Amino acid sequence: MLMAATTPQPSSAFSPAVVGGEPSDAEIMLRAKVGDSSAFDYLVQKYRRPMISFMYRMVRNAAAAEDLAQEVFLRVYRSRASYEASAKFTTWLYRIATNLAVNHARDTRHERPEVQVSLDEPDQESGATLELPDGNLTAEQVMVRRERMLAIRSKVEALPEQQRLAVVMHKYQQMDYKQIAEVLKKSESATKSLLFRAYETLREQLKEFV
């Protein structure tokens, strides 16, 4: 697999440190463009988990998220010769990712099972179990927490496509308005409006859990 094959080994791992400070991801990608495989490995290592997290938020299937994240990096690698550092590397990366995620979601719209959440299952974003904040929670409190998680996931998934993408990037990928706007090819004001409508919808639909 690409991710396994490109994980840098300690003895030959790419080091971004240079005289005058660390290069940007775009500069590192330019090194990959001219054949520096360790530079590409460094970017895969850096963005692998965030990309799996993003894909899982979009497709709600761990195996599919892994496959789609790998496909993103394959496309990055195949497109390296045409890469231009005119925008942030992450903008380019997430444009590729959003196209893949949207196409996959459309193709499997009628195949996805209802999302189930267990407090014993690993959290896809951190790899850790969903630990209870207080070991003294009652069974009822545990069930309320589980229902709240299911409700949030369900309502986010039900948002219109563009709103859902914006919320996932803003809330879970910690991307700012400018970066989301660049990925979605919208103005910042249009992006803010998109997120405002999405969060208003979520607040209204989830008010019983607030």
Q: Per-residue pLDDT tens for 154-171?
A: 888 889 999 999 999 998
The CATH code of the domain at 116-210 is 1.10.10.10
Give pLDDT, residue 39: 95
What average pLDDT does this structure show over 45-62?
92
Question: What 3-state class would DSSP assign to 186?
Answer: coil
What average pLDDT does this structure show over 56-78?
93
Give pLDDT, residue 140: 74
Give pLDDT, residue 15: 62
Q: Which single residue is written with the structure tokens 């545990």? A: 142
CATH class of 1-113: mainly alpha
Give pLDDT, residue 164: 93
Taking only the tens place, the pLDDT of each residue in 183-199 is 999 999 999 999 999 99
Domain ranges of the chain: 1-113, 116-210
What average pLDDT does this structure show over 128-151?
65
- Rounded alpha-carbon distances, angstroms, from residue 133 to 136, 138, 171: 9, 12, 21
Give CA–CA dist 8/80, Å, rounded: 19
Give CA–CA dist 163/198, Å, rounded: 6
Give pLDDT, residue 208: 73
Give CA–CA dist 176/182, Å, rounded: 10
pTM assigned to the model: 0.74
Give pLDDT, residue 138: 77
Question: What 3-state class would DSSP assign to 111?
Answer: coil
Give pLDDT, residue 78: 94
Question: Is 97 or 205 the better-scoring residue by pLDDT?
Answer: 97
What average pLDDT does this structure show over 8-25?
58
Residue 42 has pLDDT above 80, yes or no: yes
